[in-house]
Structure formats: C-alpha cells, structure tokens
Amino acid sequence: MQYALPPVLLKSAVNSTLLTLLVATLLAIPVGAQAPTETFVDRVDVPLVNVEVWVSSSGGKPVAGLSENNFLVLEDGKQVDIAYFSEVTAASTFSRQVSREQENNAQTFGELSRPAPAATTHLVLFFDDAGTEAASRTQLVQDLRSFVSDGQVPAERILLLSFGETLQVESSFGSTKEQLQNALDAIAKGATRGTLEAGSKRLALRSLQQQWDEAQQLAGGRGDPCDLFLRRGRAAVEAWAKTRKQHLLRTLDALESTATLVSGIPGLKTVVYASDGMETSPGADLAGYMDSVCPARPDLLNLRDFLGELTDPIQSLSRHANANRVTFYTFQATGLRPSPVGSAESNSLDVRSFGRIQTEGRENAREGLVLLADETGGRAFLNRSDFGEQLEEIAEEMRSYYSIAFTPSHGGDGGDHRIEVRVLGGDMRVRYRGSYHDKTAAERLGEQLQSVLFLGDAENPLQVRLGAGDLSPLDKGRFNLPLFVIVPTNQVTFLPIDGSQSGRLLAQVGLRDSRNLSVIAPSRPYPVTAPADGETTFTFRIDLEVAPGPQILGVAVRDEHSLETSLVTTTINVPDPSVPESKKPSRRKKRGSGL
C-alpha cells in the first residue's frame, strides 16, 4: 500500500512565487510532548532506558509473577536503580506510580515516560529477497498467511517490508488483513535475487574444483599442485567474498533503516527477519574447501583475514535497534533443506571436502542470525521445516514480558553502553537486549523525521507552518528552495537565561523521493528571543538544494525547553524545465513504496 500526501505543485516558471506549502497533519502517534515546568530552569532531557525482559524456567516455560525485587540491572558493570517496573500481559497494569518530578524530567526515547502497555506493540515482517531462494520463501509465506489469518497480531499493527535492490514497503501499518494477505501473495509470486546469490556460490565452488584438477594435471605428479592452486584459488575466493560482503553490508543498512523507521512508534517493536543466512565471515566455507585440499598451508592465513569479520557491523546494528526498542527474531528460511553448495553440481568433491564445506557453510550462515537475535533479546529459529509454531511463540512473547526502565547518569552522551539483567531467586533463564546506543537529542530528532517521512505518522503540537520563496537554478539541473519555518511565539517556551527571556528550537529538514531519503539540512539550534509587542510568530529560513520531481518534504522542530516536538510533512513537485508539459508522466499509484 503506497503512502501518499496531497500534492502541492510548483509553478513551471523557475522564479515564480511558490505558494505556501500545505502542511499535512497525519494520524498522531505520541512522541513525548511534555508540559513545561513552572520552575525557571532549563528542562533536563534524560531519556529513560527501557529494557524488555523475558524469563523462563530451566525447562523453557515462561515464568510469571516476579516482582521488582527479583531483578538486578547493571549498566557497564555498575548497578542502576530501577525507575519503573511492570509485568506486561494482555491486560497489563503498571505496578508503580510515576512521580510528577519524574514525568516532568524524563522521557523514553521520544515516548511518554511510562513503559508502554502490550497494546502498543508492533510487528515488522522483513523479507530479504536478495538473500533468500524462492524455495525457502514459499513455505515461509504460507506460514505467515496462516499467522495473519489467525489474527494473533492485528493486521493494522503489522508492517511488511522487502529488500532486494532497495527497501520496499509492501504493506503499511494500518492495513487490513486482506491487504496484508494480498501483499504476501505478491511477494510469493515475485522474483528473488537470492536464487542468483546461491547460484553464484555454486559456480565459485565449481571453479575451485576445476582449478584444483588443472593444478594436479600441470604438476603431473612431479611437484606440489597446491602452490598453483592456492595462488589461483585465492583470487577467486577473494572476489566472491568481497561481493557477498558488500551485499550483507547493504542488508545491514536496510535493517538499520527499518529500526529507524519505527523509532517514533511507542512501545516494543518486533522484527521478524527471514533469510537463508547471514555470514559473519563471507567465503569462509570456500576457504575451508581450499584448506581441506591443501591443509596447514600458511598461504591461507591472510586469506581468512581478508574475508573480514561482519561481527562489528552486526553488533552496531544491534545497538541501534536496542536504542529504538526493536527486538529481532531471525528465521533461517532454508530450514532443513541442504546447503546451496550441497547440490548434485558439487558431487565431484571428495567426501572429506564435501563434508567440511557443508558443515562450515551451514554454521557460518547461522552465526549472524544468532548474533543479531541474541544481542537484541530475540531468538534465532534454525533447522525448521515450517515456522507456524515459532510465529505463535513470537506473538505470545509480544504480549507477555517484564518491562524495566532506568535513568542513566550520562543521558544523551551519544555513546554505546552494555546492559546486564540478573534474575534472583531461582534457576531461571533470562533474555534481554545486551547493549544500547544512548542517542543525543539531535539523533532522536533525525530518526523521528525519517520515521514520519516513510510511515506518515505526524503530530504538530507547536503549530508549525511552512512557507517557501522563489526557486533559483543551481548546477546540474538542481534548484535552491528557500524554506521558511514559522512557529507561533505563544507555542514557544521562554525561560529567564542571562537576564532575558529566551527560547531555543532545534530543527531538521528531510526530503524523500520514490527511492531515497536525504536529510539535507543537519539539525541545528535556533535561539528565540522574547517577542516584541505585536510579534506573533518566529520565522527562520533554511535554504534547500532540491532536484526536479515529486518529493515528500518533512520538517522536525523541537522546543528544547518544553521538549515538545512537531513533525510536519507535505508533498512538493519541483518542475523540470527540460521536460515539456505534454511529456511529463502522470502520477499513478504502484504496489509498494520504495524506501
């Protein structure tokens, strides 16, 4: 389902006056607006750190009825006080009252201070088309159709994404069950690049086998064929590993974008990521084949180093997800099917080499899936022929967990921090997110802006309006657009600072076309002095470099004293002077919107 805003067309003359942009007020989702305090001091923006904790017995059954006294929370190895605690169930209630002082001085990563009840949980289904073969996808889609039909998670709380060349919204939050089912059907029928990825690996392995055969023939039993084989084979493995690594990095970027898109939504966000695998060391199984043919050769030591580790990028994604209360459940979509290299095309391998490459390939493909799930408090599902039962378990875990929050002493320092949760009073297993990135106010504002540009949820408590000046041409067919952000002065909080009444606004601007997002104006503060008699608005100008074509423009404005944030969006259409009016394409809706 494509998200669209009412268009505002620019006049075709480049220097004509641009009409005031239409501000689209969309379905509001709370983003942490707080009433200003009555004391004359700056507000302290100290975000709470929320941690969802799942506790089970040694036999794997969920444990209910624990109290705050059963939990010990440590940040970077030091115990922290629990600010809020609740056991979230389908009919969740908060077990502790929130003090007025805490409400006024803390907010949860852009949310209201209290831990969100289970009703605010959302589910994201992420199909990695570039990393999943068609045979893998068929069973998973079938299981998801049954899951959606059962309604264990309301369809309007499910976002369906796919990733091939770009990240695509196949079905947005707010969709009906029928729309979601249709989107799943479209995914099942669509092409998948994962089949090509698997085929390229089979070709790489076949090439290594041929190079080994040739090296043996050239040696003729008189020399060591390993010298020639390792020299030729190394180049082939490095080339394949480099390509695979770049694909995986693009996938991690898409998953990070997903965590950003849902950052403005309150409560727990669950992402089900389906792929045939996520290697932490791409090409390690191919290098293992070379090692099995020519064992204990120092020539391979640098090769394994070259392959590179993706552990750090995966952990970086995990910290970003944790900061946005996103939990990953990873599905290895191949299930019990043989590894892509375990086909008849590879039957020329000797038994020892075949067994090793099968084992190393399967283990390597799982490592990233397990790491991502573990670091975000989720679970990795492997060796499954179907996923219906696991989807039911995920739905249950979205409704039942312990919600804990603490206030860090370093709020908004922009650093990465470890979390440890211990359960006292018995032999119990515990799952939770193991780290988080403590976002600065500017980072949170930027993520809220990206979220509204893609998902369309916005609110405007500061009553921000947008206007624009004349377009002027720049180089390479681009234009300068003066954007005016207008804020009513009676919506700005003024505090006595340095002998005068002062306000402070933080603003950021972003543009999104059909494929890409561009934050074209970094967030920056705008000081506001007390208005003179007759002044009713404060206006500041931001010059934007824009390209021709239809785009969604988004502006985020945050009052640094009241902590209220306005998110406003509109659609603009910048004319292309080189295209005659008669040849300009008409706007038509398409299935899925590109990210």
Instruction: Determine the pLDDT at residue 341.
Output: 52
Instruction: Kindly write down the DSSP assignment for every residue of 46-83, as one continuous string.
Output: EE-EEEEEEEEETTS-B-----GGGEEEEETTEE----
When comparing pLDDT for 403 and 37, which is higher? 403
Position 436 pLDDT exceeds 70: yes
Position 328 pLDDT exceeds 50: yes
Q: Which residues pair with 422 in a beta bridge?
A: 72
Average pLDDT of the chain, as a whole number: 77
pLDDT classification of 464: cutoffs 50, 70, 90: very high
Q: Are 401 and 52 in contact (CB under 8 A)?
A: yes
Instruction: Determine the pLDDT at residue 87.
Output: 92
Q: pTM for the complete prediction?
A: 0.75
Q: Which CATH class is domain 7-28+458-594?
A: mainly beta
Please work out, in degrees rounded to the nearest 5, the angle formed at the alpha carbon of residue 258 by the alpha carbons of 48 and 320.
40
Instruction: Determine the pLDDT at residue 240.
Output: 85
Instruction: Determine the pLDDT at residue 36.
Output: 33
Instruction: Determine the pLDDT at residue 159.
Output: 93
Radius of gyration for the alpha carbons in the chain, expressed in angstroms and rounded: 27
Non-local (6+) Cβ contacts of 234 within 8 A are 290, 299, 303
pLDDT classification of 177: cutoffs 50, 70, 90: very high
Instruction: Determine the pLDDT at residue 267.
Output: 83
Residue 572: closest CA among 168, 16, 24, 167 = 24
Buried b (16+ CB within 10 A) or exposed e, 516-527: ebbbbbebeebe
Work out the average pLDDT over 65-85: 94
Work out the average pLDDT over 468-477: 88
Span 506-562, pLDDT tens digits: 999 988 876 555 556 667 888 888 888 888 999 999 998 888 888 889 999 999 898
Position 587 pLDDT exceeds 70: no
Instruction: Determine the pLDDT at residue 195.
Output: 59
Q: Where are the beta strands (DSSP E) in 457-588?
A: 465-468, 472-473, 479-488, 495-497, 500-512, 517-529, 537-546, 549-559, 565-574
Would you list the domain boundaries of the chain? Answer: 7-28+458-594, 46-120+397-437, 130-395
Mean pLDDT: which of 14-18, 263-267, 566-570 is highest? Answer: 566-570
Position 95 pLDDT exceeds 50: no
Position 107 pLDDT exceeds 60: no
When comparing pLDDT for 6 and 363, which is higher? 363
Span 184-228, pLDDT tens digits: 999 888 766 655 666 777 788 888 888 888 888 888 777 788 888
Work out the average pLDDT over 294-320: 76
Helices and strands (DSSP H and E) totals, the chain: 11, 27
Q: Are 116 and 267 in contact (CB under 8 A)?
A: yes
